[in-house]
Amino acid sequence: MRRIEIYDTTLRDGAQAEDISFSVEDKLRITEKLDELGVHYIEGGWPGSNPKDLEYFKKVKKLKLDGLKVVAFGSTHRPKYKAGDDVIFKSLLDSKTRIITIFGKTWDFHVKEALKISLQENLDIIHDSITYLKKRVETVFFDAEHFFDGYKDNPQYALKCLMTAQDAGADCIIPCDTNGGTLPGDVRTIFREIVKKMRTPLGIHAHNDSECAVANSIVAVESGASHVQGTVNGFGERCGNANLCSIIPSLQIKLGMKCIDPGHLTRLRDVARFVNEIANMRHFKRQPFVGDSAFAHKAGIHVSAIRKRPETYEHIRPELVGNAQRVLISDLAGKSNILRKAEEFGIRLDAGSPQVQDIVTTLKKLENEGFQFEAAEASFELLMKKALGLHKRFFDLIGFRIIVEKRKEGEEAISEATIMVKVGGRIEHTAATGRGPVNAIDNALRKALDKFYPKLKDIKLHDYKVRVLTAGRGTSAKVRVLVESGDEEEKWGTVGVSENIIEASYQALVDSIEYKLLKEENEYPI
């Protein structure tokens, strides 16, 4: 089995993405997580460029890493300095890493216009930089910046840059698609040409400006590269870098190459979500392999097929990358969707039961009214249980009233909700304030029910979304409210629809509470 080195640059290249900033502790936690995944190298940063990276390289030495090797990143020495006199190299060596990656210019356009030096002087800089570092550290990688653009313009010079790095003793040379504009066909053609002329192992470092970073990385490996650089979730400057969460399973599962330990591949989704959380970025639902929607099925025909043979509509088994198959409920659903969801909810439902068609009919009617259950499966589970006579009423609403008062300009409005509910034979009448009318009714409802159902204190509201459904009707438009709630064990989504945003919110909040109470029904057998 052919082995491919996985080189992660999330902490350096990924951190250059807009809206992302890692603290030192963030970087250390990600380092440990990637070690657990089995990545071979992690680029910790550019020592000397900022105090944060210096601190990281000091602290990372204290981590007990299983196999992950930490790499310091920098550039070739500057034209006005010799290698031994350049502070860039002093900082790199002060990091005390055994592996250093440096990048150098391989596009004659950059040499002439950015560095303002001769083409020969650039070759000398590449050679001197690698030679100097090789005498002082175990391994030196050379990132051939802008290589593919350079090769298209001046293939002889771009190749001469690689040959110079090879002669200087670089352990791996990584052609970079720095601007991200190269297409897979060009990568394949160029790689096949340079592989014939190089004896040093080659890698690939692709950016995603043409949405081809993953494809370019795979094509490069197929054409001879044995080292792949990328980031978790494709984080990176501009449009991002090659996404390791797609590259690793593509190479390992589809091409039969060894990237990481097969037993660790099931951790891929967890790692992707972990890094998103650390970066404070929302999870991309449609991300291949690891996204929530990667193995989600909506059409009834698809669901019918995957219940028999999952491979009919799935390119791999989701469990291989730590994901799971999901069946969505919508107006496209058929009986197969309903039966599959019943299995997930632990509800016994016979395929020939007329109740199945009743649920399908009710579902289509509600979705026509604006309800959406794809992100509100808790509401759909309640709908199913009500249709099957399995639902329990834990309380009845007698009524509620909300007052919003603004006393003077410049002060926040005050919201107060009064609610009356009946639990068993007892009536509870209470009031609460909130930061808005929805928050106020939520607080009042919980306050009224807390004494009967103490575990409602465990519920936390994680997300609240409002979508206008009827365009052109202004403030009288029908709206859909989606609420995501959770406790220490799980999260669940609920939905409400009305022309009154408070009423829609109340529907979603009640479903959330009822779902929690049904989970705890043995404790509250009312």
On the 0-12 / 13-18 / 19+ scale of CB atoms within 10 A, 219 is buried
On the 0-12 / 13-18 / 19+ scale of CB atoms within 10 A, 426 is exposed
CB 123 within 8 A of CB 156: no
- Token representation of residue 291: 């996204």
CB 34 within 8 A of CB 67: no
**Cα–Cα distance measured from residue 233 to residue 239, given in angstroms and rounded to the nearest whole number:** 12
Could you give the residue ranges of the DSSP H alpha helices within 40-143?
A: 51-59, 87-94, 108-110, 119-134
- Which is it for strands 203-206 and 5-8: parallel, antiparallel or unpaired? unpaired
**Cα–Cα distance measured from residue 311 to residue 160, given in angstroms and rounded to the nearest whole number:** 48
pLDDT for 425 equals 87
Q: Alpha-carbon torsion 338, 344, 350, 354, what sign?
A: negative
pTM of the predicted model as reported, rounded to 2 decimal places: 0.72
- Label residue 93 left, alpha or beta by phi (over 0 means left) and psi (-120 to 50 means alpha): alpha
Query: Residue 259, SS3?
Result: coil
**Cα–Cα distance measured from residue 163 to residue 371, given in angstroms and rounded to the nearest whole number:** 63
| DSSP H or E segment with residue 491 | strand 491-498
**Cα–Cα distance measured from residue 370 to residue 467, given in angstroms and rounded to the nearest whole number:** 10
pLDDT digits (tens, 9 = 90+) for 260-282: 998 999 999 999 989 998 898 88
* C-beta neighbour count of 73 within 10 angstroms: 25
Could you give the residue ranges of the DSSP H alpha helices within 72-198?
A: 87-94, 108-110, 119-134, 147-153, 155-168, 184-195
CB 229 within 8 A of CB 258: no
Residue among 414, 460, 411 at smallest CA distance from 433? 414
Tell me the backbone φ, ψ of residue 82, rounded to 5 degrees: -85, 160
The contacts of residue 13 (CB under 8 Å, 6+ apart) are 43, 231, 235, 236, 237, 241
Distance of CA 447 to the CA centre of its chain: 37
CB 202 within 8 A of CB 226: yes
Rounded (10°) angle between helices 501-519 and 437-450: 30
Amino acid present at 148: F
pLDDT for 511 equals 94
CB 482 within 8 A of CB 493: yes
**Cα–Cα distance measured from residue 178 to residue 189, given in angstroms and rounded to the nearest whole number:** 18
Residue among 397, 390, 406 at smallest CA distance from 429? 397
| DSSP H or E segment with residue 211 | none
Cα dihedral angle (71, 73, 78, 82), rounded to 10 degrees?
A: -10
Query: Across the beta sheet with 479-486, what order do the strands follow?
Result: 460-468, 479-486, 491-498
- Token representation of residue 116: 């303002």
**Cα–Cα distance measured from residue 43 to residue 24, given in angstroms and rounded to the nearest whole number:** 14
Show the beta-strand stretches assigned E in 346-478.
396-405, 414-423, 426-434, 460-468
pLDDT digits (tens, 9 = 90+) for 92-148: 999 999 999 999 999 999 999 989 999 999 999 999 999 999 999 999 999 999 999
**Cα–Cα distance measured from residue 69 to residue 44, given in angstroms and rounded to the nearest whole number:** 10
CB 493 within 8 A of CB 375: yes
CB 194 within 8 A of CB 188: no
- Residue found under tokens 């409802």: 445
For the chain, list the domains and their CATH numbers.
5-279 (3.20.20.70), 296-369 (no CATH), 370-394+455-526 (3.30.160.340), 395-452 (3.30.160)
pLDDT for 148 equals 98
Walk along the chain (526 residues) and give the pLDDT tens digit of each residue.
899 999 999 999 999 999 999 999 999 999 999 999 999 999 999 997 788 888 999 999 999 999 999 999 999 999 988 988 999 999 999 999 999 999 999 999 999 998 999 999 999 999 999 999 999 999 999 999 999 999 999 999 999 999 999 999 999 999 999 999 999 999 999 999 999 999 999 999 999 999 999 999 999 999 999 999 999 999 999 999 999 999 999 999 999 999 999 899 999 999 998 999 889 888 898 999 999 889 888 776 776 777 778 778 889 999 999 988 877 665 555 666 777 777 777 788 777 778 888 887 887 788 778 887 877 888 888 988 888 888 888 999 999 999 999 888 888 889 999 999 999 889 999 999 998 999 999 999 999 999 899 989 999 988 888 888 876 666 667 888 989 899 888 889 899 999 999 999 999 999 999 999 988 875 554 4
